[in-house]
Structure 1
Amino acid sequence: MHTVAVLALDQVIPFDLAAPIDTFGWARLPDGRPAYRTRVCSVAAGDEVNAGAFTLRAPHGLEALAEADTIVLPGRSDPSLPLPPGVARALRAAAANGTRIASVCVGAFVLAATGLLDGLRATTHWRAAAELAARHPAVTVDPNVLYVDNGQFLTSAGAAAALDMCLHMVRRDLGSAVAADAARLSVMPLEREGGQAQFIVHPQPPAPAGTTMEPLLAWLEENAERALTLEDIAARAGTSTRTLNRRFREQTGTTPLQWLHLARVRRAQYLLETTTHPVERIATQAGFGSPTAFRERFKRVVGTSPQAYRRAFQGERAA
């Protein structure tokens, strides 16, 4: 039987802890036997771990990591916390023995702190991706995916993405049939379409309050559905295209057309979430001109197709 050790450090995020326990717990061999033995451990056996709404007592200490085939590292509510004594050493020793190690959400900070992710691609929750990259520059952080599998080391995005990652590991270990069964019991698809990019909020680059760009940005927002060119925008601003580009970069960090494209994507997201309009109509309403251009730009920014986005995010108002 495959042994999974879930390492709960203080301030553990409850769902990060529950996701791997539940997913591996649902997995059954063809004869009905449990496929995994899951152990919750902490620095020492019997340690009380703060999980926010409750406190848990870990039955096992770090010694359980040496006996595990897979170690899962849930996130902590404050990912900047230093690792408790002995944790990095125990994880590196397990890695040296070939143990698979996976992180959930900001648990990537724990794994990165050991140095085991250096030189590798990794992910974490999109809101923490920039901080992970800044703290661990030797790690290539990809905020757009649900999980990254480097073979021995895996990282997942938000806590729900841990379900995707754990099902992926079940499929690697035991095949698609067992993984599909676990997915059904978890009431989720074996594979979700699109990556983490579809959940990222893309704020418009703002202009500092009181700057000359504020009225122009408001006009662009109101007229995003029009087939505006750089020359149109420059004429509205009463300047040359070269001067417009320079001022725009100085005040917003991007170009006028890039800003306009993002405004159109945000409008399209709103329409996909709140209306039943066909994609062709939304392409026109959002200012993309053609459905093909809309689909290509939308997928480039959001990471999934307009129809897949609508299925994932359409709410009661649209229904």
Structure 2
Amino acid sequence: MLRSVAVLVLPHAAAFELGTACEVFGIDRSDTGGPTFDFRVCAPTPGAVMPTKGGFSIVVEHGLEATRDADLVVVPAYGMPAAAVPPQVLQALRDAHARGAWILSICSGAFALGEAGLLDGRRCTTHWMHAAALAARFPAATVDPDVLFVEDDRVITGAGTAAGIDACLHLVRRELGAAAATSVARRMVVPPQRDGGQAQYVDTPLPPVADTLAPLLTWMLEHLDEELGVPSLAARALMSQRTFARRFRAETGVTPAAWVARQRVARAQELLERTDVPVEEVARRCGFGTAALLRHHFARTLGTTPLAYRRRFACAPRGEEADVPGERAS
């Protein structure tokens, strides 16, 4: 269970990426039903003045001892590759992973994980501008420059900036459930779920705001239990199927089928956490139709079964149902 978090600040840290970790894990959100973590920011030398990329400096109170019992150690972007990572930092990262802690990097923080040997034999990512350098520097790693984040053996690497939010929320969801991740995302006013496999960027320029698919995406979230194939969606968007498929991928980074499947899994997670309805009914409500198909997508996406997920994350009293965001009144 994710209870304690240590954020490791290295010289010339990126303020936004550091702030991302502080925002997701460092704020007490118990007043709105969100999670609370034992949160610490640490540095190689406690009390030292640490320069940031933003042109200002910070003073970090805690030293590397803060990583020794943390369930998660986060490494935000820092001034790589010129800034050498102190050997004691690399050992702290290795020790944390060896005892079972999660390790999460944001943007160029992946280079510190590489220096510690934690990327060897693993898939990973970083900001697309740094991906080639990461692959060249750590040839034993498999670098994917086209995704938002990668999870591999309790090591999560996130791409640049906003993808760090996605990586952090992914871990909250994985450890504490969809309701906890949605609570944090709602307070941050960000989407609660973007797939790690979604593209970091697209070459096709986005259309003017008035012509985006945002209204259709909202409608789709409210009608996940209905037929959402490309023909019907294209007709609703008043486009040809080919134009619709191209526009959809340009705006979301994934195909319509992949987007719908992941949103249905997310809805199923919420229903399993917050209601006591049978799995067959969960499958019907989220659009999979049958429990067998729901189990297939759960295994492929989350690596578990609906019943196992419910046993771990259920938060509704037996026999009662909580309100689920996106559910329409019957």
Please give the range of the TM-score, normalised by the shorter of the 2 chains. Answer: 0.5 to 0.7
Q: Contact 1:193–1:304 at 8 Å: present in 2 too?
A: no
Cα offset for 1:77?
A: 3.2
Q: How does 1:153-302 map to 2 (within 5 A)?
A: 153-192=155-194, 197=199, 199-200=201-202, 202=203, 266=204, 269=205, 272-273=207-208, 276=211, 291-292=241-242, 295=245, 299=249
Matching residue of 2:121 = 119
Q: Which residue in the other structure is 1:261 paired with?
A: none
Instruction: Give me the identity figure in percent.
Output: 44
- Return the alpha-carbon distance in structure 2 between the equivalents of residues 149 and 48 of structure 1: 32
Change (3 A) 1:198 1:97: closer
- Which residues of structure 1 form unaligned runs of 5+? 203-265, 281-289, 309-319
RMSD: 3.5
Scaled by the length of structure 2, the TM-score of the pair is 0.62
Larger radius of gyration: 1
Check whether the contact 1:26–1:186 (CA below 8 A) recurs between aligned residues: no
Cα displacement string for residues 259-296 of structure 1 (whole angstroms, at most 9, x for unaligned residues): xxxxxxx4xx36x2478499x9xxxxxxxxx7428836
Q: Specify whether residues 302 and 134 from structure 1 end up closer, same or farther in structure 2 by C-alpha distance, changes over 3 A only.
A: farther
Secondary structure at the aligned position of 1:127 is classed as: coil
CA-CA distance at 1:192 after TM superposition: 2.6
Q: 2:74 aligns with which of 59, 72, 75?
A: 72
Partner Cα distance (1:194, 1:108) in 2 = 16
Shift of 1:170: 1.2
What is the match of residue 304 of structure 1? 254
Contact 1:25 1:34 in 2 (8 A): no
- Determine the C-alpha separation between the residues in 2 that align with 1:23 and 1:67: 19
Q: What is the aligned partner in structure 2 of residue 44 from structure 1?
A: 45
The Cα offsets for residues 43-88 of structure 1, whole Å up to 9 and x where unpaired, read as 0211211013211111111111112110000111333422123111
The correspondence of residues 88-107 of structure 1 with structure 2, limited to 5 A, is 88-107=90-109
1:172-223 Cα offsets, whole Å, 9 max, x none, are 22211111111100101111368553525x5xxxxxxxxxxxxxxxxxxxxx
Is the 2:6–2:74 contact (alpha carbons within 8 Å) kept by the matching residues of 1? Answer: yes
Please give the secondary structure, in 2, of the residue aligned with 1:39: strand
What SS class does the counterpart of residue 46 from structure 2 fall into?
A: coil
Residue 32 of structure 1: how far off its partner (Å) = 5.2
What is the CA–CA distance in structure 2 between the aligned matches of 1:294 and 1:55, rounded to whole Å? 48
Residue 34 (structure 1) shift: 5.2
Instruction: Quote the Cα distance in structure 2 between the aligned partners of 1:291 and 1:122.
Output: 34
Contact 1:12 1:74 in 2 (8 A): yes
Of the structure 1 ranges 189-198 and 135-144, higher mean CA displacement relative to structure 2 is found in 189-198
Q: Distance in 1 between matches of 2:96 and 2:14?
A: 23
Q: Is the 8 A contact 1:74 1:106 kept in 2?
A: yes
Listed as ranges, the gaps of 5+ residues in structure 2 are 214-230, 232-239, 259-330
More moved, 17-26 vs 5-14: 17-26
TM-score (norm 1): 0.64
- Residue 165 (structure 1) shift: 1.1
2: distance between equivalents of 1:24 and 1:151?
21
- 1:299: Cα distance to partner? 4.1
Give the direction of change, closer, same or farther, for the CA distance of 1:296–1:35 in structure 2 (3 Å limit).
Answer: same
| CA distance 1:32–1:73, shift in 2 (3 Å) | same
SS in 2 for 1:18: helix
Q: Is the 8 A contact 1:28 1:34 kept in 2?
A: yes
Distance in 2 between the 1:77 and 1:157 partners? Answer: 15
Instruction: Report the equivalent of 1:110.
Output: 112
- Aligned 8 A contact 2:147 2:200 in 1: no
Q: Which residue of 2 aligns with 1:210?
A: none
